[in-house]
Chains A and B, each alone.
Chain A
Amino acid sequence: MSKRIETTDLNVYYGNFRAVEDVTITIEPRSVTAFIGPSGCGKSTFLRTLNRMHEVIPGAYVEGEVLLDGENLYGPGVDPVRVRRQVGMVFQRPNPFPTMSIKENVLAGIRLNNRRMPKADQDDLVERSLRGANLWEEVKNRLDLPGSGLSGGQQQRLCIARAIAMEPQVLLMDEPCSALDPISTLAIEDLMSELKEQYTIVIVTHNMQQAARVSDVTAFFNIAGTGSPGKLIEVGPTDKIFSAPDVQATEDYISGRFG
């Protein structure tokens, strides 16, 4: 259930502005890959190209290839809706649908697929997904209450449950803990190390300790200055990036000299 992502010379644009330049990276399956870098360096933008969420912004487009196990996500005739069903995403701020109950939130993606599912299977899936997101014990008695009644950390785990209920190939996480307290953050980080047994996980984070704790591979993005495009500076095993990076800029960033 997990696939390798490869991009070659990927350029990302907002209208005429090139936000990300020439990214070539391979993201291994069943691992956690972290994107770090200063604000505005294009790491979130790049992440959103991996499930074609980038192009929902008017005027935004992508040049180049994103291969998911060899299949180009930007090939002709590829339906972005199908891509997003294979590549799940968790956002910076928890966003369960406020008008749906906890259970409906988990099933939201399945309902979209118009898959007719017997009620028992639905209940199974809800339990499996919520267990997978370490939320089951906390909500099993209030599945029919609105998801917006949960705490921020619980809401974020509900969003993860919603994403993994779709059984995606890849799970993208865009600063999933930046709106959470340390305890909830810890819960999500534990969850990530469990989830990587099954999924390819890509996480954007501003928190370098978090990248060091959870990721196997770290990619460092940077920009030369305002108005210039973001670039992938260096990518490698996390312990190498955090102990002996090849590029000076990476070391400066990691040691807190800028950013």
Chain B
Amino acid sequence: MTTGVGGAGGPGAAPPRTLWEATRKQNEPMTEKLTRPPTADPDAGPPAQADPRRPGEAIFRGLATGAGITILVILALVASFLLVQGSPALFADPAKLASQGYGEFASWVLPYAFGTVWAALLALLLAVPVAIGIALFISHYAPRRLAQPLGYVIDLLAAVPSVVFGLWGSLVLAPAVRPLYEALNAHLGFIPLFAGQVSGTGRTILTAAIVLATMILPIITSLCREVFLQAPRLHEEAALALGATRWEMIKMAVLPFARPGIIAAIMLGLGRALGETMAVTMVLSGSRNITFELLTSQNPNTIAATIAQNFPEAFGLKTNQLIAAGLVLFVITLAVNSIARWIVARRAEYSGAN
């Protein structure tokens, strides 16, 4: 500490000893004038008499607050719709559900809930490594001439409607992967995942997961690419200067920085995979099974596909039961997102954003 710096902050320093102190003394009355209400100042010109709250500020604040409230209102409306319309099935007498609905609720919905989570998990397992790989290639390996068009192609994949993926999955992919499934079953059949009698159509949960993976690949890739590109140059150079190879640099400086972004991207992909209806409905021939076998014709169906398949013929309590299944899907998605938030928040103090 030098005396100049220490003395300036001290109380009752009579003459200004430093330049800073002198400037501060001069500025004090000026600050006072600025904070005084403009109308009380007789010297104030016309500009000062205008509304101090600039109108643009108020309008923008209103719009932003309104948008924020809107999303909450929409969410509340959807949730209350699910609760109100689904509760007759949730609280109905099991005997009544058996005769007028699809049977006792919990045991009815459980296999579908399992199928939903299982298919989405498989899709994530397939899609995430590929997506991160593509994103890293685009952001850190590919020459710029190649990276740009590749990015566009990936984004284009996101624009393909899910019904088209469904057609492709059931007409092209399912027959095409059958030989692969046979081989997996023959050679790796001792692993429970690949055990059982191989499906004759190829329309299994694994095929559905591959289609889902293709569908969520673009969103995860695009988001990861954006995050990877924002990894601070400063930290990349720090790693390189320590003698890191490119992959080591990515491990030290890019991936840790991008971790919350990667998790957010995965969650968006997972949300889409959990809720995807059309493609699963077209590809998967599922029923009410709980099985981890990937290759057999006994597959669990998903909640979304079940709703889509049954809704046209449903009435009365059956409709309520399907809506209640929708509520279960809503809760699953909410739980998944909360877990993701918790994971991101857990290491916030080590975040790359600091």
Contact = CB atoms under 8 A, between A and B. Distances in A.
A97 B253 CA distance: 7
A206 interface: no
- Binding site secondary structure of chain B: helix
B144 to A, nearest CB: 7
A91 B232 CA distance: 13
Interface stretch (A37-45, A50-58, A63-71, A239-247): A50-58
Contacts of B259: 99
Interface in A97-144: 97-101, 108-109, 112-113
A82 B235 contact: no
Interface residues of A, number: 31
Contact of B241 (A82, A84, A113): A84
A91 B351 contact: no
A26 interface: no
A112 B235 contact: no
A91 B237 contact: yes
Contact of A89 (B235, B241, B248): B241
A56 B243 contact: no
Given A95-B234, A97-B253, A146 B349 contact: yes
A108 B242 contact: yes
Given A82-B243, A112-B243, A146-B349, A98 B235 contact: yes
A159 interface: yes
- Residue from A58, A88, A95, A113 with most neighbouring chain B CB atoms (10 Å): A95
Contact of A84 (B144, B240, B256, B352): B240
A162 interface: yes
B245 interface: yes
Interface residues of B, number: 26
- Binding site secondary structure of chain A: mixed
A32 interface: no
B210 to A, nearest CB: 33
B237 A166 contact: no
Contact of A108 (B232, B234, B237, B252): B252
A196 B351 CA distance: 35
B90 interface: no
Contacts of B240: 53, 56, 84
A162 B354 contact: no
Given A53-B241, A146-B350, 14 more contacts: A81-B245, A88-B242, A95-B235, A95-B237, A95-B238, A97-B256, A98-B235, A98-B351, A108-B239, A109-B243, A112-B244, A112-B248, A149-B349, A162-B238
25 contacts: A51-B241, A58-B144, A81-B245, A85-B242, A85-B243, A91-B237, A95-B235, A95-B237, A96-B238, A97-B238, A97-B239, A97-B256, A98-B351, A98-B352, A98-B353, A99-B259, A100-B256, A100-B350, A112-B242, A112-B244, A112-B248, A112-B252, A149-B349, A149-B354, A162-B242
